[in-house]
A and B are shown apart, each in its own frame.
Chain A
Amino acid sequence: MINVQNLYKKFGTNEVLSDISTSVTKGEVVSIIGPSGSGKSTFLRCLNLLEVPTSGTIEINGKNLTASKKTIHKIRQQIGMVFQHFHLFPHLTVLENLTYAPMKAKGIKKAEAEMKARLLLERVGLSEKEKAYPNSLSGGQKQRVAIARALAMEPELMLFDEPTSALDPEMVKEVLDVMKDLAKSGMTMVVVTHEMGFAREVADRVLFLDHGVLVEEGQPVEFFSHPKTERAKDFLDKVL
C-alpha cells in the first residue's frame, strides 16, 4: 500500500531524513518510535506531502506522490491524519467538523454526511457532543473527534502523529482504545508514538528512527526484547 524508496528530507542544510526505504502492506499497523528530533514526525508528514521530500519516491497504492502535485488533494482524501494538537476547526460544531470535508471535498450530500458522522461519533463514544464546539471538550474527547473526522473521509490509510502526547495522562487510554478498535477493524495505520505499550501490543511492526536514519525495524516482540542495534538498546533503556 505504501512504498517508500530512498527518501531524503532537508531543511536548509539540516538533513532530517536520510535514505529511508520501507513499505507498509494493507491492514498493517506500523509504529514509528525514536528519540525526539529523530525525524519520525517529518517522515509521517511526508506520507501525505505536508512536508515535501527533498528526494526519493513515495508510492501510495502504486501512485507516485511526488509526481502528482495537482492531484495531491485527491490522494490525501484517501489518507486520514490525526495530529498531536488535534487541529479541530474551532468555529464549527463537532458534527460540522465531521461533515465538512466529506461535503466539500467529496461532494457528499449533507443528510448522508450527517448520518455517517453520527455513526462515527457513536463509535468513538461522543454521540451526545455533536452540537458542542471543540473548545468545550476535553483533550481526550477532542482527539477522539479528530479521529472520527479523519475516518469520515473513509480513508484507506490512517496516519497518527503522536496522538496522545498532548493529553493529560488520564485521557491517554480512551484515545488508545479507539485506535486499538480501529486496528482490529483492519485499518492500515502508521503511528508515531511515545506509547511503547501501544507499539508493543497493537503494532505489527516497529520502525526505529534515530537522527533521520531508519536504524532498525522488526516485530514488536522481537524488537522490544532483543533489539539488534546499540542505538535501539540505548533508547529502550531510557524509555522502558
Chain B
Amino acid sequence: MNLDFSQIVPYIPFMLEGIWVTLKFVFFAIILGSILGTLLALFKIGSIKPLRWFADAYTSIFRGTPLILQLMIIYYSIPQLTGYDISPFLSAILAFGLNSSAYISEIIRAGIQAVDKGQMEAAQALGVPYRAMMKDIILPQALKNILPALMNEFITLTKESAIVSTIGYLDLMRRAQVVGADLFRNFEPLLFVGLIYWCLVMGLTMIGRVFERRLKQSD
C-alpha cells in the first residue's frame, strides 16, 4: 500500500492555517444569513404583500439555482458590471450569506408558525406592540423549536464552504489541493483536511447542544 503521511508533515501548518481562513468567512456568512433570513421570514409572515412577494421570489431564486453558480456569478460578474474588483473573501461571504438566508428564512418561518397561536393572542390582548411581541415572545420560542434545523443549516454551510476553493480562495479545501499538487500525492492531504472538517462540524454540534440545553431551562 502506497500511503505515507510523513510527507505531509511540513505542510501541516499551511493546511491548519486554512481552518482560520474557512472559519472567518463561514462566520460572517452565518451572521449575514441569519440576519437576512430573519428579516425574510418576518416579510413572509407579515401582512405587507409586496414584501411577501419579494421574500418568496428571493427564496425561490436562491434555492432554485446551484450555490456554486451563485458564487461564480458574484465573483465574476461584479468586476465585469461595476468595475469593482471583488475579493474572493467578500464574494464567498455574499454568496454563502445570501444563499443561506433563503434556507434560514424558511426554517424561521416554520418555527414562528409552529409557536402556539395563543401566545400571539395573549401578547396582543395585553396591548404589547407587534415588534416587541415578535422580539420578546414569539422569536425566542420559535428559536427553541428550530435550533436543531438551524444547526443543521450551519453545519451544511460549513461543509459546503469547500466550494470557495473554485474561485481560488485559500480555504482548507484549496490548501489540500495545493499540497496535493506539490507532493503528487492527493490522498493524504485530502484525508487530513477531511478530518479537520469533521472536527469543525463536531465542534458546531457541541455548541448547538449547549444552546439547546440552555433554552430547555424553562421546561
Contacts and interface: CB of A to CB of B under 8 A. Distances in A.
Does chain A bind chain B? yes
Contact of B218 (A91, A101, A105): A91
Q: Which of B125, B128, B218 has the most CB of A within 10 A?
A: B125
B136 A81 contact: no
Given A104-B132, A133-B218, A135-B219, A87 B127 contact: no
B17 interface: no
Interface residues of A, number: 29
B129 A73 contact: yes
Given A73-B124, A76-B127, 9 more contacts: A50-B121, A83-B122, A90-B218, A91-B215, A100-B128, A100-B137, A101-B123, A104-B132, A153-B126
Contact of B137 (A50, A73, A75, A89): A89
Nearest to B141: A91
Interface in A59-115: 73-81, 83, 85, 87-92, 100-101, 104-105
B144 A91 contact: yes
Give the size category of B's interface with A. Answer: 20 to 34
Contact of A77 (B119, B122, B126): B126
A74 B126 CA distance: 9
A89 B128 contact: no
B218 A81 contact: no
A100 B136 contact: yes
Nearest to B126: A101
Contacts of A134: 218
B140 interface: yes
A48 interface: yes
Interface of A: 48, 50, 73-81, 83, 85, 87-92, 100-101, 104-105, 133-135, 149-150, 153
Nearest to B218: A133
Contacts of A104: 128-129, 132, 136
B160 interface: no
Contact of B124 (A76, A135, A149): A76
B118 A83 contact: yes
A50 B124 contact: yes
A105 B144 contact: no
Contact of A87 (B119, B128, B132): B119
Contact of B126 (A75, A91, A135, A149): A149
B121 A83 contact: yes
4 closest Cβ contacts across the A-B interface? A77-B127, A87-B122, A87-B118, A101-B126
Contacts of A83: 118, 121-122, 125
Given A50-B121, A83-B121, A133-B218, A73 B141 contact: no
Contacts of A90: 141, 218
Given A133-B218, A135-B219, A89 B127 contact: no
Nearest to B137: A89
A90 B219 CA distance: 8
